[in-house]
Structure 1
């Protein structure tokens, strides 16, 4: 499975926090998505999954354009929800969001949340179940999953036993990395911050 954060989008430029479902890619983001598509062009990808957010779907559509693949949007792959603060530009809320993510990833305290938003337990439950659903639907196949920085990082840090190593080096935009399911456990042979091995094309 090739995973990647969506390409650069308008909410990143404006500092808008939350799921922000309608934020589109920037012009730079479109170029990033095309570069990711070229990188994965020779991979035997059979299906592309993305969150339902516009920025993730637009990234996925760029990936699907070259081999003409189907994109399936799944709300379970959406970014971490922050409840009543959804869509805010308030620096205090963004600081609290970073604090909560630190608690989830570094301190393993999944009870924390931003206001009335999701707990780490909520995010892990929906994301883990979705990864399992995708893996079950594509045994022996290679798929791509386009998601978001916080929900992907929190989930894969736990599933791949990466722990706090991923903290402080957020996933870059539109940089594919490998996540493998061996039938028993998830593995991350390639994390784009350099903690794991370099990208190795041809591995699911």
Structure 2
């Protein structure tokens, strides 16, 4: 049996501005760096042997803060980068709807097949998430507690893939530097969410 701690990276300036980051390599801001340290402290009671991380700077910096506390191995995984939004990256949702009204409506009505111009469809990111789960189970045997550091949309889809078709991605919220804990049984091959979107380790007063 294993526990998988799904961790979203700390805050970036684009998070504050409401801009779609996608595959853009946006670094953590000062608050995000503090959140990463608080996350690492909060994870001290949840030791892991491996940290599977997106290769984007904001995720790797979060993973490194955790690694420095636990001396765990970081395993970079390009499959864990954020969902790619193509030409929509750098824009807010209001700007996207204004500049790409036809493409945006098509994407909203048929997200599984449609994709932002130059970006990914939901079917494509689901395929990536399935690859991630296969690699993680293969490399751990389903018997090592691990952390997975990634991004909002990718983590939401990862949880959705874990729990099956009844779980909609839209209902899964993961805040910056949050921890979602999932149990996996190698005997039954069943994933169970134990705790979702935990941010209790973030000391709000220090971020003001």
2: distance between equivalents of 1:171 and 1:100?
Answer: 26
Q: What is residue 167 of structure 2 aligned with on the other side? A: 163
Q: What is residue 95 of structure 2 aligned with on the other side? A: 92
Give the structure with the higher percent helix. 2
- The TM-score, its normalising length taken from structure 1, stands at 0.80
Q: SS in structure 1 opposite 2:70? A: coil
Q: SS in structure 1 opposite 2:197? A: coil
2: distance between equivalents of 1:99 and 1:191?
Answer: 31
1:3-14 paired onto structure 2 within 5 Å: 3-14=6-17
Change (3 A) 1:100 1:144: farther
Aligned-residue Cα RMSD (Å) equals 2.9
Q: What is residue 202 of structure 1 aligned with on the other side? A: none
Mark the structure with the bigger radius of gyration.
Answer: 2
Q: SS in structure 2 opposite 1:163? A: coil
Q: What is residue 127 of structure 1 aligned with on the other side? A: 129
1: distance between equivalents of 2:125 and 2:113?
Answer: 11
Unpaired runs of 5+ residues, structure 2, are 201-208
Whether the 8 Å CA contact 1:181–1:187 is kept in 2: the answer is yes
Q: Deviations over 1:127-176 (max 9, x none)?
A: 11112201221121111000110111123123214623x63663111111
CA shift, 1:192, in A, is 2.0
Answering whether residue 20 of structure 2 is matched by residue 49 of structure 1, we say: no
Q: What is residue 36 of structure 2 aligned with on the other side? A: 33
Q: What is residue 22 of structure 1 aligned with on the other side? A: 25
Change (3 A) 1:154 1:115: same
Aligned positions, number:
189
CA shift, 1:103, in A, is 6.3
Give the structure with the higher percent strand. 2
Change (3 A) 1:9 1:121: same
Unpaired runs of 5+ residues, structure 1, are 199-204
Of stretches 48-57 and 9-18 in structure 1, the one that deviates more from structure 2 is 9-18
